[in-house]
Structure 1
Amino acid sequence: MNSSGTTASAELGLQLLVPERTSVPLVARLDYTADDPYAIKVAFHTGEDEPVEWIFARELLTVGIVRPVGEGDVQVWPSKGGDERTVNIALSSPFGQAQFDAPVAPLAEFLHRTYEIVPAGEEADHIDLDSEIERHLS
């Protein structure tokens, strides 16, 4: 896991839950930056040349550790996988669906580091709203 004053990243071992098989292990890279304080970028390394990238609300992953949350394309809920607590992440898009099982401990550690960078409730202080509006109007 890496951190600086404004960014955090981590590699997270996941299990892709496949109906025909028990599960397939894979790695996801999580990235957070104070420049986009509400979001966590997750790159799923599926064995293809390029990873599959999703952007999650930081709060969605945080709440999903303790209770089911999310509607539509992304849902997160806690579970118990063997001896350790895990979190399930279900993704849906026009291209397909996937469900992952991730250990809570390293995910919670990563999330904790993001809240050290930008505490909850202070996200708006890190966004330059005028430049965001300008960027979208250009």
Structure 2
Amino acid sequence: MRSTVVEHLVPARLILSTQCSSGLTVVLRYLARDPLAVRMAFPAEYSLDEDRAPRDGAEVVWVFARELLAHGLALPSGLGDVHVRPCRTPHTVVELRAPEGTALLRFESGALRRFLAASYRAVPQGREAALLDPDRALAELLG
């Protein structure tokens, strides 16, 4: 099993209103052992649910399809909790929806493209199936 991990620190703007935003650093991760997914990690203080926020400085992590991130750079994409869409060049917006609220983040598109390129060097697009481990995935689901 490949243990390759791609990790990029990416600046983002958390959009709070039409006239107010806050800068933060997001960690984008790609794990070759989970080849279809990307992870977007935020500092704990950015949790939408203060009662369930990670303790001791742990990060809040959203996991979604690598393909969603790639498609969202060109066209509005996503169903459910995660949506990605191009915004005024050179930016891309990621919208994260939870019962507690919605977070809207703006990234430089180039930073997302560089992350994706690194992930494709680790596991080329179309080769993900060769690394899937259905037994491990089932074991993780069943706890």
Which bracket does the TM-score occupy, shorter chain normalised?
Answer: 0.7 to 0.9
Other-structure match for 1:57: 65
Give 5+ residue unaligned stretches, structure 2: 47-56
CA distance 1:23–1:134, change in 2 (3 Å): closer
Deviation at 1:135, TM superposition (A): 4.5
Select which of 122, 127, 130 maps to 1:122: 127
CA distance 1:99–1:121, change in 2 (3 Å): same
SS at match of 1:108: helix
> Quick one: distance in 1 between partners of 2:13 and 2:60?
15
> Quick one: distance in 2 between partners of 1:137 and 1:52?
22
Q: Normalising by structure 2, what TM-score?
A: 0.83
CA displacement, residues 23-50 of structure 1 (integer Å, 9 cap, x when unaligned)? 1101100111110001111111264633
CA displacement, residues 60-117 of structure 1 (integer Å, 9 cap, x when unaligned)? 111100110001211110012xxx5110011111121110000011110010010111
> Quick one: distance in 2 between partners of 1:134 and 1:104?
36
Other-structure match for 2:38: 40
CA distance 1:137–1:26, change in 2 (3 Å): closer
Q: How many residues align?
A: 132
> Quick one: distance in 2 between partners of 1:20 and 1:66?
23
> Quick one: distance in 1 between partners of 2:92 and 2:43?
18
Give 5+ residue unaligned stretches, structure 1: none
The residue correspondences of 1:1-138 to structure 2 (distance < 5 A) are: 6-19=4-17, 21-45=19-43, 47=45, 49-80=57-88, 85-137=90-142
> Quick one: distance in 2 between partners of 1:17 and 1:124?
36
SS at match of 1:18: strand
Q: Normalising by structure 1, what TM-score?
A: 0.85
Deviation at 1:137, TM superposition (A): 4.7
